[in-house]
Every structure is written in structure tokens, then in C-alpha cells.
């Protein structure tokens, strides 16, 4: 059981918007940066969001991140079939001295 | 090109040992914090180990503490994971990843599969 909690799955139609939540605690999300990763089946994870709300170069602005208190959210607009993947949140936990990943959310674009 | 390439995975019996390697190109490993992350078949990502850029700070997940050791060879620009007393639950794809902007893992290798089975 992951310390960072994500919904197991979300779905939406092409062109629509979806949000994925990540719930943590005062020792991880509340005081540290959150990152988000996209993992297409059979491939390595890819960094989508760092610093809770910043995008690396090459990541389209359809992807956005936000954080409030002990929760973080990944938003994806203008959904495309190519966005179908597993999405993971990640944060450092200052009490555990550990990197934490959420359990992952499978996005289906209907 | 900035790249990480893992090697050393394979089939090992329970209780056995294995050393994974991660060769970096396009950047200097000793200038960055580095991590190992694993993914069991059909499961999510699980962080395994961290080493600071100086090498002076090392962390391991509780699930591998006392059995796994992360290390680095600056001359070979490579990262390693020494795994001892392997268990069936250590079966996973193991990724090395660079820790760059604001604690994010920006560069990942392609992964190497470790199977622990008799």
C-alpha cells in the first residue's frame, strides 16, 4: 500500500480534460516538491511535471501540475489516444528519508 | 546524448546475489544525485536506493535495507546496485534514474529485469 494515494483509474473521451489526484501527508507533499511521471506500457517512466507545477522542455502545455497542502493534482487537457498510460506522482518524505511513489493511475482515453 | 543504460539483470536463485550496473553517457554521474527504482511485474513503481552527488549520503528503502547497497564508480561514470540475499519479491525491472530538477527523476534507463526463482 502506497503512502501517496492515487485513484487506480480514470477515463475520458478524446479532446476532454482529466485530473488525477495524489494525496499525501505533512511529511511529504506538504513540505516537498511533487513530480509526475507518464509510463506507456513496456517503456520506462518519463518525467512530466517537476517542482509540483513546472514542465520540462518538450512536454506540451496540455499537461499541468498543482499542489495544495497535502495533495497534488495532475491535469491533462485536449486528451489524445496517445495519452493512454499509467501516471505516477512522486515526492520525498522527510520523516522516512525515502522517495515515495503513488500507486499509479491508469488513464483510458475512450 | 544524455543516456543511462542498465545491465546485469538475470535469473538468480533465492538467497543469491547479483550486481546491477548503470552506465551514464552525456553527463557526469558524480555531479548528480542518483537513484534505483524497481517495478515488479504488473505493479507500480517502488523506490529502492539513493546516493548523493558527493557519495556521502545514501538511503535505502526498508524493504531492501541490509541486503542492497548502492555505489558509484566515478572513473567509469557508472552507478551500481549490489543485491544480496535475494527473495522472490525482489523480482522486478530495475531502473536507474538521475535526480535533477527539484528532486525529480529526469533521466531513466531502459531497465534490466531481475528474476528470483528456483
Mean pLDDT, chain A, rounded, equals 96
By residue count, chain B amounts to: 118
CA angle A28, A29, A35 (to 5 degrees): 110
pLDDT grade for A3, boundaries at 50, 70 and 90? confident
User: Which chain A residue's Cα is nearest to B102?
Assistant: A51
DSSP annotation of A4: B
Q: Taking a C-beta distance cutoff of 8 angstroms, is the pair B15, B85 a contact?
A: yes
Question: Are residues A56 and B106, on separate chains, in Cβ contact within 8 Å?
Answer: yes
- Beta-strand relationship, B78-83 and B18-25: antiparallel
Give B-chain residues touching A100 at CB under 8 angstroms. 47
Q: How many CB atoms lie within 10 A of CB A11?
A: 13
DSSP annotation of A83: G
Maximum separation of any 2 CA atoms in chain A, in Å: 41
Q: Does A33 touch chain B (CB under 8 A)?
A: yes
Q: Which helix (H) or strand (E) holds A39?
A: strand A34-39
Q: How far is residue B66 from each of residues B50, B61, B69, B105, measured CA to CA in Å? A: 14, 10, 8, 24
With 90 as the cut, is the pLDDT of residue B102 above it?
Answer: no
Q: Which helix (H) or strand (E) holds A76?
A: strand A71-76
Question: Are residues B104 and A104, on separate chains, in Cβ contact within 8 Å?
Answer: no
Q: How many Cα atoms sit within 13 Å of A95 on the Cβ side?
A: 9
Count how many pairs of residues, chain A against chain B, have C-beta atoms within 8 Å. 68
User: What DSSP string describes A59-98?
Assistant: --TTEEEEEETTEEEEEE-S--GGG-EEEEEEEEETTTTE
As a whole number of angstroms, the distance between CA A94 and CA A32 comes to: 8
Give B-chain residues touching A24 at CB under 8 angstroms. none
Q: Taking a C-beta distance cutoff of 8 angstroms, is the pair A4, A22 a contact?
A: yes
Of A33, A88, A101, the CB nearest to B103: A33
Of A32, A37, A88, the CB nearest to B103: A32
With 60 as the cut, is the pLDDT of residue B54 above it?
Answer: yes
Q: Mean pLDDT across the stretch A61-90?
A: 97
Q: Does A47 touch chain B (CB under 8 A)?
A: yes
Report pLDDT digits (tens) over B4-49: 999 999 999 999 999 999 999 999 999 999 999 999 999 999 999 9
Amino acid at each position: 500500500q502506497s503512502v501517496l494515494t492515487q485513484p487506480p483509474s480514470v477515463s475520458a473521451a478524446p479532446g476532454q480534460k482529466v485530473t488525477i489526484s495524489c494525496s499525501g501527508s505533512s511529511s511529504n507533499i506538504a513540505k516537498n516538491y511533487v513530480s509526475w511521471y507518464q509510463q506507456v506500457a513496456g517503456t520506462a517512466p518519463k518525467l512530466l511535471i517537476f517542482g509540483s507545477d513546472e514542465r520540462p522542455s518538450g512536454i506540451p502545455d496540455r499537461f499541468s501540475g498543482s499542489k495544495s497542502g497535502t495533495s497534488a493534482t495532475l491535469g491533462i487537457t485536449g486528451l489524445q489516444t496517445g495519452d493512454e498510460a499509467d501516471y505516477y506522482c512522486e515526492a520525498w518524505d522527510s520523516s522516512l528519508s525515502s522517495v515515495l511513489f503513488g500507486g499509479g493511475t491508469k488513464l483510458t482515453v475512450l | 546524448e544524455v543516456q543511462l543504460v542498465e545491465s546485469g539483470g538475470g535469473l538468480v536463485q533465492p538467497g543469491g546475489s547479483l550486481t546491477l550496473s548503470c552506465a551514464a553517457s552525456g553527463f557526469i554521474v558524480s555531479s548528480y544525485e542518483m537513484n534505483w527504482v524497481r517495478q515488479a511485474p504488473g505493479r507500480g513503481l517502488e523506490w529502492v536506493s539513493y546516493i548523493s552527488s558527493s557519495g556521502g549520503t545514501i538511503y535505502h528503502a526498508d524493504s531492501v535495507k541490509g541486503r542492497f547497497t548502492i555505489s558509484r564508480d566515478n572513473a567509469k561514470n557508472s552507478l551500481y546496485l549490489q543485491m544480496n540475499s535475494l527473495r522472490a519479491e525482489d523480482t522486478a525491472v530495475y531502473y536507474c534514474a538521475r535526480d535533477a530538477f527539484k528532486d525529480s527523476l529526469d533521466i531513466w534507463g531502459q531497465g534490466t529485469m531481475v528474476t528470483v526463482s528456483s
